[in-house]
Amino acid sequence: MVRDEHAELFQCPGERYQIHRSVCQGRQKRNYAKCAQCATKQALLETESKAKAEKQKMGIFKAYDIRGTYPDQLDETMARRIGAATAQFLRGREIAVGRDMRPSSESLAAALIEGVASTGTNVIDLGLIGTEMSYFAVGHYGYAGAIMTTASHNPAKYNGFKLSRENAMPIGGETGLANIQTILESGLAIAAERKGTVSRQDVYPSYKEHILRFLKNIKPLRVVVDAGNGMAGKIFPFLFGQLPLEVVPLYFELDGRFPNHEANPLKAENLRELQAKVVSSSAHLGVAFDGDSDRCVFVEETGRTISADLVTALIARSLLTPSERAVVVYDLRSSHVVPEEISRAGGIPCQERVGHSFMKATMRKRKAIFGGELAGHYYYRDNYFADSAMITFALMLNILSAQEKPLSEIIAPLRRYFSTGEINFEVADPDAKIREIAKRFAKGRIHYLDGITVEFDEWWFNCRKSNTEPLLRLNLEAHSPQMMEKARQEVEAVIQA
């Protein structure tokens, strides 16, 4: 077969006319007789296969970060390209690079560093750290940005990169990640005549000094800590080892294969051992961290899990003062307890859509003192508006140390409403279903900040699309268990119709 490079036309052996690529492909699928004589058939198939593989690899660019399975979706070659493209986008003098404990993180971070340095950009190698430490490094040392090698709470076969720019501002799909993907796909990253330098920076001492500033008069407490074989196993003892705490450790050994359970504290099954240990050891508090230690979930002394929105309400109450009238940002899935408690404590509640890039942007815009998401991320004005699980743990110690009663009694007044938690539904057309929901519940107060939120006097719900799957996610809350169940059935009937 003869190929016309300019017109993408092909000519079969023995034929005098040319055919388009699509006709050629159709003939191959039907085992066209002359395909067996075609000298370039295999080359065409290989070209198509490579194009398909490249397209699949570009699927690692998500809404908030870069993430995929290693090494089929994300390998060292891709990491090198990502490093070069990110450096080209940031155009800064120095970019920091950190990594977690996953088996593939060391080689991926090394390739990433090569890519960044190839553009003439200097690299600050932060070594083995947690994600929130990369945010701190950018803010504290004034780097142009940071790239953290991690797949966060995902299983061991995954890896990826979390990116931030100056002042620890996040790089997501709408704030630069799409540009980086374009640079990568287009080959626009230009190799410099002189490579950038690579130097090491030990961020741990400065980071510890920063975190400990949030502590106030900690009394002796017994705490169970589940590091999930993630980065908290290294970070937690370094930060809090000198406090008057009796720490009962679970899975502090760094092991990115996660041999005991997934490092995802949002899954109930991953908290069972922590809950049991809190009760059996008569601990005051339990905490579980995710793989890159930027997210945490708390357990009270009874073994009961505390939902993240109640933690948001509790911490907001402890940080707010009536004289400042500071803003606190919370995601719209949170219980109505959150804005009520913020207002009672003298703050200004500010609802925002789900996602750390939206939370952080609004916090900067409103100069908010604090923000909390239902996913277990907590953000602080005095932490470059970035999230920190370690600051959150420190503040929980403050709250427990300041009161002469157990955590369950402190939390109890906040459990005044009844929630379904997040329920996922597979639907063929999420947008059409949201329109149907709006029509069915038109008598409620409706807004579209993120999906659809409908409020009635004694119950409310939010239904929003997944960023990655054809799913609708439902969160519903009511004033009584009976009302919650009745309302849930009503909303589910519309979703599943």
| Close Cβ partners of 289 (under 8 Å, ≥ 6 residues apart) | 225, 226, 227, 228, 230, 231, 232, 236, 263, 265, 295, 296, 389
Q: Does 204-411 carry CATH code 3.40.120.10?
A: yes
Question: pLDDT digit string (tens) for 314-339?
Answer: 999 999 998 899 999 999 999 999 99
Mean pLDDT of the chain: 93
> 283 CB contacts (<8 Å, ≥6 apart)?
222, 223, 224, 248, 277, 301
Helix, strand or coil, per DSSP, at residue 247: strand
Q: Is the pLDDT of residue 144 over 90?
A: yes
E-strand ranges in 365-493 read 370-372, 378-380, 386-387, 418-419, 423-426, 445-447, 452-455, 459-465, 471-478
Nearest to 375 by CA among 264, 258, 211: 264
CATH architecture of 418-496: 2-Layer Sandwich (3.30)
Degrees (nearest 5) of the Cα angle 288, 293, 294?
Answer: 105
pLDDT of residue 232: 98
Task: Provide the pLDDT for residue 434.
Answer: 96
CA atoms within 13 A on the CB side of 342: 28
Average pLDDT over residues 128-139: 98
pLDDT tens, position by position, 257-307: 999 999 999 999 999 999 999 999 999 999 999 999 999 999 999 999 999
Single-letter code of the amino acid located at 79: A
For 243-261, what is the mean pLDDT? 98
Integer Cα distance of 440 and 462 in angstroms: 14
Q: What does the pLDDT average to over 148-176? A: 95
pTM higher than 0.85, yes or no?
Answer: yes
**Structure tokens given for 184:** 């990568």
Average pLDDT for 415-423: 95
Give the pLDDT band of residue 2 (cuts 50, 70, 90): very low
CA-wise closest residue to 376 among 263, 476, 460: 263
> Which residue has better confidence, 45 or 11?
11
What does the alpha-carbon distance between residue 173 and residue 182 come to, in Å, rounded to a whole number?
11
Positions marked active-site:
152
Q: Decide if 58-202 and 204-411 have a common fold.
A: yes
pLDDT over 70 for what percent of the chain?
93
Distance between CA 422 and CA 474 in Å, rounded? 5
Cα–Cα separations (whole angstroms), residue 388 to 182, 371, 452 = 31, 11, 29
> Any idea where the domains of the chain sit in the sequence?
2-57, 58-202, 204-411, 418-496
Q: What are 497's two structure tokens?
A: 């119709």
Q: Which amino acid is at 257?
A: R
- Whether domain 58-202 has CATH 3.40.120.10: yes
List own/partner pairs for 269-278 with CB under 8 A and 24 or more apart: 270/228, 271/226, 271/297, 271/299, 271/305, 273/226, 274/224, 274/226, 274/250, 274/299, 275/299, 275/303, 275/304, 275/305, 276/303, 277/224, 277/248, 277/250, 278/224, 278/303
